[in-house]
């Protein structure tokens, strides 16, 4: 029986020791898990950046860590006690296994008392361990509560952080929206300013867009067919829209090239160049705007006087001379002396003065250029006698003389640029010389014909004029031929006005340079002027209007069977046959007749009454499609 009691006590003590060990290990693992979670919470809080709350939680965490360390120490003590109990149990087990024979009863009683004492100790240790375990469980519960509180605090901090971040994002978004709105307002403001400036620029189109002096450069005077070049330009900075034109303008200033040759009578030729004011040659070129460029000049006066927005090149050319370096060959010097010529090579050439403008004041611009030319030649003529007598370098008075007065010429042109042309031109002087005042008696459209030659409508029958009109409006390839470029230019401008309100946007060249003659082979409508001494045809598909002879002849065109065109002939016939009215009045009456005719024709097309063959043909043209 005693042995059974001893075994029960050993088993009971061992069971309590094992349960205590398991509970301690469990508490240790839970404490370790709590410590890990607390450290994670600390990291998250430090990332979120709430310093005050973080410091508070950190101090509490420090306390918990210290308490946890105390529990670990107790755990070690318990572990040591358990280890001692195991040793005692082992000793007891060893004693129980020893043989019972020969052992006195006294020792048995003593052993029982010792076992009982050990059992009491074990029970006491077990109770104490259980109390410690209860304390650990309670502490664990407190740690769990604190963990939950920390977690709740963390959730609050995260919520606050999310709110702060959303507010920051909202603020940033509003800031970005405000910035974008601000940029839009600034951009709109800049655009409005540019539009206002652009509108003002369109409304206040300069009288002269650009001014050029074009001739042979001195480096090319010995070539048989030198290329003309721009020698002077005002303003210096080229307009963006005219950059391409700058490259081809010399070609149009001298459509048939420029000659440069030495003279055998230098003194006589130089004096003729400087003294004869009748040598000036006036011509016009026009440049049509690109139909896709979107360019639209809003100036009301230009819209009335130049509805196609043509850029006019008013060209005044004059013979001139270029002095080469002095002769060094003695034989040449002797020959020059015998002829009474200066001891220099003198080359005769031509100089073109060009004004680009949207205004049709051809007479005014001719006067402006003539004023510049005659003023410069007057000074050169005054210097020429001294130059011949003293035989000094004639390069000081040749065609490059204008370089001595560049500033005065630019100042003069700037004064002209500032003029506003509505009714009258204010007088302007160059070097205190000639004044000019614009004619104010004409209706706006007729300014285009102030310098038209008096024979412009001579030799025209009503049927031929209507036939030329038909060829232009139905987009045939048309070539006007005459000896005078001036005649060709004004006839082409008149025919282009007759088709209004339709705009002729195809190639429109008043004097075709020789290099551009292949345009006659182009498979597109063209309206060209050919300055020729004698009529000749180049292509069978071109309508040639031969105005060289006394009676105008038109080749390669078939007259349409149209009652409307017959009525038109009857209306213009009295005007063309009337020799009692001046040219400008004839032009005015013709334009009025064609204006009424075109308005009626287009109205009939719009109202689906285009049964006439001529109207059906108009409806198929590109210029009508653009108008529509």
* Cis status of the peptide bond prior to 501, with omega within 30 of 0: yes
**Range with the lowest mean pLDDT among 56-65, 478-487, 490-499?**
56-65
318 CB contacts (<8 Å, ≥6 apart)?
273, 279, 280, 281, 350, 351, 353, 373
Mean pLDDT to the nearest integer, 463-476? 96
**Domain spans, the chain:** 2-99+107-178, 210-446, 462-627
**Range with the lowest mean pLDDT among 192-196, 424-428, 468-472?**
424-428
pLDDT digits (tens, 9 = 90+) for 581-621: 999 999 999 999 999 999 999 999 988 876 889 999 999 99
**Could you give the CA distance from residue 96 to residue 6 in angstroms, rounded to a whole number?**
8
Residue 202 · residue 299 · CB < 8 Å: yes
Helix (H), strand (E) at residue 543:
strand 542-546
**Could you give the CA distance from residue 298 to residue 549 in angstroms, rounded to a whole number?**
42
CA–CA distances in Å: residue 67 to residues 35, 72, 115, 140, 153: 12, 9, 37, 11, 22
pTM above 0.75, yes or no: no
pLDDT digits (tens, 9 = 90+) for 131-188: 777 777 777 777 777 777 777 777 776 676 666 556 555 445 544 554 554 555 455 5
Residue 72 · residue 28 · CB < 8 Å: yes
- The partner residues of 261 in beta bridges, in order of sequence, read 348
pLDDT at 316 over 60: yes
pLDDT at 341: 64
**Could you give the CA distance from residue 576 to residue 589 in angstroms, rounded to a whole number?**
10
pLDDT at 501 over 90: yes
Mean pLDDT to the nearest integer, 434-449? 67
> What is the token pair recorded at 294?
């979107």
Share of the chain above pLDDT 70, in %: 67
pLDDT at 578: 92
Running DSSP on this structure, what letter comes out for residue 528? Answer: E
Mean pLDDT to the nearest integer, 39-53? 59
Cα-Cα-Cα-Cα dihedral sign, residues 298, 302, 305, 308: negative
- The candidate with the shortest Cα–Cα distance to 315, out of 409, 211, 242, 411, is 211
pLDDT at 58: 63
- The candidate with the shortest Cα–Cα distance to 235, out of 416, 399, 362, 435, is 416
**Could you give the CA distance from residue 241 to residue 496 in angstroms, rounded to a whole number?**
24
87 CB contacts (<8 Å, ≥6 apart)?
none
Q: Which 3 state secondary structure label does DSSP give 248?
A: helix
Which of 75-84, 118-127, 403-412, 530-539 has maximum average pLDDT?
Answer: 403-412
**Could you give the CA distance from residue 136 to residue 77 in angstroms, rounded to a whole number?**
14
pLDDT at 87: 75
pLDDT digits (tens, 9 = 90+) for 350-401: 999 999 999 988 988 998 899 899 889 988 988 887 777 766 678 888 888 8
Half-sphere exposure (CA, 13 Å, Cβ side) for 565? 22
pLDDT digits (tens, 9 = 90+) for 220-261: 888 878 999 999 999 888 777 777 788 889 999 999 888 888
**Could you give the CA distance from residue 348 to residue 374 in angstroms, rounded to a whole number?**
18
> What is the token pair recorded at 589?
């009456």
**b or e along 265-297 (b: 16 or more beta carbons within 10 Å of the residue's beta carbon)?**
ebbebbeebbeeeeebebbbbbbbbeeeeeeeb
pLDDT digits (tens, 9 = 90+) for 573-592: 999 999 899 999 999 999 99
395/71: higher pLDDT: 395
Cα-Cα-Cα-Cα dihedral sign, residues 214, 216, 219, 225: positive
Domain 462-627 has CATH 2.40.30.210: no
428 CB contacts (<8 Å, ≥6 apart)?
412, 415, 416, 419, 435, 436
Half-sphere exposure (CA, 13 Å, Cβ side) for 450? 21
Residue 132 · residue 125 · CB < 8 Å: no
First to last CA, the chain: 130
**b or e along 208-236 (b: 16 or more beta carbons within 10 Å of the residue's beta carbon)?**
bbbbbbbbbebebbeeeebebebbbbbee
24 CB contacts (<8 Å, ≥6 apart)?
75, 78, 79, 133, 136
pLDDT digits (tens, 9 = 90+) for 173-226: 544 554 554 555 455 555 555 544 444 444 467 888 899 999 999 888 888 789
Q: Give one word for 560, left, alpha or beta, with left for phi > 0 and alpha for psi -120 to 50.
A: beta
**Could you give the CA distance from residue 618 to residue 587 in angstroms, rounded to a whole number?**
24
Q: How far is CA 444 from the centre of its chain?
A: 36
Which of 41-45, 102-106, 425-429, 550-554 has maximum average pLDDT?
Answer: 550-554
- The candidate with the shortest Cα–Cα distance to 158, out of 53, 259, 272, 235, is 53
pLDDT at 104: 45
Q: What is the largest CA-CA distance in the chain?
A: 179
What average pLDDT is seen over the chain?
Answer: 78
pLDDT at 179: 54
Q: Given pLDDT bands bounded at 50, 70 and 90, which one contains residue 452?
A: very high
pLDDT at 51 over 70: no
* Cis status of the peptide bond prior to 235, with omega within 30 of 0: yes
pLDDT at 149: 77
Half-sphere exposure (CA, 13 Å, Cβ side) for 360? 25
pLDDT at 92: 65
pLDDT at 156: 73
- The partner residues of 300 in beta bridges, in order of sequence, read none
Mean pLDDT to the nearest integer, 483-501? 95
Q: What are phi and psi of 323, to 5 degrees?
A: -95, 125
pLDDT at 102 over 80: no
Q: Given pLDDT bands bounded at 50, 70 and 90, which one contains residue 453?
A: very high
Q: What are phi and psi of 469, to 5 degrees?
A: -60, -45
DSSP state letters, 311-343: EEEEEEEEEEEEEEEEP--HHHHHHHHHHT--S
């Amino acid at each position: 029986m005693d042995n059974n009691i001893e075994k029960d006590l050993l088993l009971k003590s061992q069971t309590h020791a094992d349960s205590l060990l398991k509970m301690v290990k469990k508490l240790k693992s839970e404490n370790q898990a709590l410590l890990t979670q607390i450290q994670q919470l600390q990291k998250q809080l430090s990332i979120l950046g709430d310093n005050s709350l973080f410091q508070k939680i950190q101090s509490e965490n420090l306390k918990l860590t210290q308490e946890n360390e105390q529990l670990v120490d107790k755990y070690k003590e318990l572990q040591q006690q358990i280890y001692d109990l195991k040793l005692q149990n082992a000793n007891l087990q060893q004693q129980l296994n020893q043989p019972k024979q020969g052992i006195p009863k006294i020792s048995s009683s003593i052993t029982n008392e010792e076992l009982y004492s050990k059992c009491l100790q074990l029970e006491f240790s077990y109770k104490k361990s259980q109390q410690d375990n209860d304390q650990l469980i309670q502490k664990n519960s407190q740690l769990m509560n604190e963990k939950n509180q920390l977690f709740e605090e963390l959730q609050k901090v995260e919520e606050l952080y999310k709110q702060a971040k959303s507010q920051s994002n909202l603020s940033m978004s509003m800031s970005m929206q405000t910035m974008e709105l601000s940029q839009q307002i600034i951009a709109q403001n800049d655009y409005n300013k540019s539009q206002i400036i652009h509108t003002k620029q369109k409304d206040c189109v300069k009288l002269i867009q650009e001014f050029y002096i074009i001739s042979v450069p001195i480096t090319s005077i010995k070539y048989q067919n030198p290329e003309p070049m721009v020698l002077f330009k005002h303003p210096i900075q080229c307009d963006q829209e005219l950059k391409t034109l700058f490259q081809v303008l010399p070609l149009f200033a001298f459509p048939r090239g420029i000659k440069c040759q030495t003279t055998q009578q230098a003194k006589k030729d130089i004096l003729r160049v400087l003294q004869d004011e009748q040598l000036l040659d006036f011509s016009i070129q026009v440049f049509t705007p690109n139909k896709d460029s979107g360019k639209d000049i809003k100036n009301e006066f230009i819209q009335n006087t130049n509805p196609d927005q043509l850029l006019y090149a008013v060209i005044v050319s004059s013979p001139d001379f270029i002095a080469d370096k002095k002769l060094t060959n003695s034989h040449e010097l002797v020959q020059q002396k015998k002829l009474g010529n200066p001891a220099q090579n003198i080359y005769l050439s031509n100089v073109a003065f060009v004004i680009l403008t949207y205004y049709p004041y051809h007479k005014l611009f001719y006067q402006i250029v003539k004023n510049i030319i005659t003023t410069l030649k007057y000074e050169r003529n005054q210097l020429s006698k001294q130059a011949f007598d003293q035989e000094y370098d004639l390069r000081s008075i040749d065609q490059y003389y204008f370089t001595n007065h560049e500033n005065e010429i630019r100042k003069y042109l700037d004064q002209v640029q500032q003029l506003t042309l509505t009714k009258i031109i204010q007088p302007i002087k160059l070097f205190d010389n000639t004044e000019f005042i614009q004619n104010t008696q004409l209706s706006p459209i007729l300014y285009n014909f102030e310098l038209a030659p008096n024979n412009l409508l001579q030799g025209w029958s009503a049927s031929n004029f209507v036939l030329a009109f038909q060829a232009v409006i139905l987009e045939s390839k048309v070539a006007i031929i005459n000896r005078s470029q001036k005649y060709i230019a004004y006839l082409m401008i008149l025919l282009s006005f007759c088709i209004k309100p339709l705009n002729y946007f195809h190639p429109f060249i008043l004097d075709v340079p020789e290099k551009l003659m292949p345009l006659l082979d182009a498979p597109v409508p063209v309206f060209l002027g050919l300055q020729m001494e004698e009529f000749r045809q180049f292509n069978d598909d071109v309508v040639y209007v031969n105005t060289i002879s006394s009676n105008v002849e038109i080749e390669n065109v078939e007259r349409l069977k149209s009652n409307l065109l017959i009525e038109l002939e009857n209306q213009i016939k009295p005007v063309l046959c009337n020799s009692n009215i001046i040219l400008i009045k004839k032009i005015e009456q013709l334009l009025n007749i064609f204006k009424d005719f075109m308005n009626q024709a287009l109205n009939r097309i719009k109202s689906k009454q285009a049964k006439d063959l001529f109207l059906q043909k108009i409806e198929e043209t590109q210029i009508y499609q653009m108008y529509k």
